[in-house]
Amino acid sequence: MEMAATDTLVTPRGPVAVKEWAVLVPDAGRQKRSAGAGSKGERFYDWALIDDRCDERGVRWVLIRRNRTTAELAFFRCYAPETVPLARLVAVAGRRWRVEESFHQGKGLAGLDEHQVRTWTSWHRWSLLVMVAYTFVAVCRLAELRRHPPGPGLIALTCNEIVRLLYELFKIERGREQVLGWSVFRRMHQARARCCHYRRPAALES
């Protein structure tokens, strides 16, 4: 769970804000790890752990994330029934990006943000239909990737591309071959663009 920089930890000297603990972490105590793949490649940060508490109920830590470019800090309160490696905590913290991406796609592809929220019942029905529609698109994407993995020079099918194909294939004025051909062309162009995007952060890291 993400926490504010002003949240405190109880110490023998009294409560101490986590941002003050972050200053005490030496550079040797930080590890460069990826929080997952982003739109421009792996999202690398410097991570550190502060032991909060360990008792019969489990282990608690404060996970510190530092941006390698801006030095901006973020803090996460972690819990596990037993000790787990830093890599696992980083992977869980990095899943927030996927959740935010799903909300963003739900708004753009299925209209999640187009309800006026007048009553609970209507909002609940609208949100349910939106999630079903978005799930249908996501399942179509996964099923197609299993049957036809992307070849060299192509990016994998995205939810956006699936929606675009469904929209275009229902038009009468365009044939299926033309629609699929344009889809392949777009994915080839996106693959080249992604390669350039990935190359630049890699050059900055080296």
Q: Where are the domains of the chain?
A: 2-94, 115-205
Q: Where are the alpha helices (DSSP H) in the chain?
A: 18-24, 86-110, 120-147, 159-169, 176-205
pTM over 0.85: no
Residue pLDDT tens, the chain, 206 long: 888 888 887 776 678 788 887 887 877 888 888 887 766 677 888 998 887 677 778 888 888 899 888 888 888 988 888 888 888 888 888 887 777 888 888 888 888 888 877 888 888 889 899 999 999 998 988 998 888 888 778 878 888 888 888 877 777 566 677 777 767 777 777 777 767 765 655 555 55
Longest dimension (CA), the chain: 75
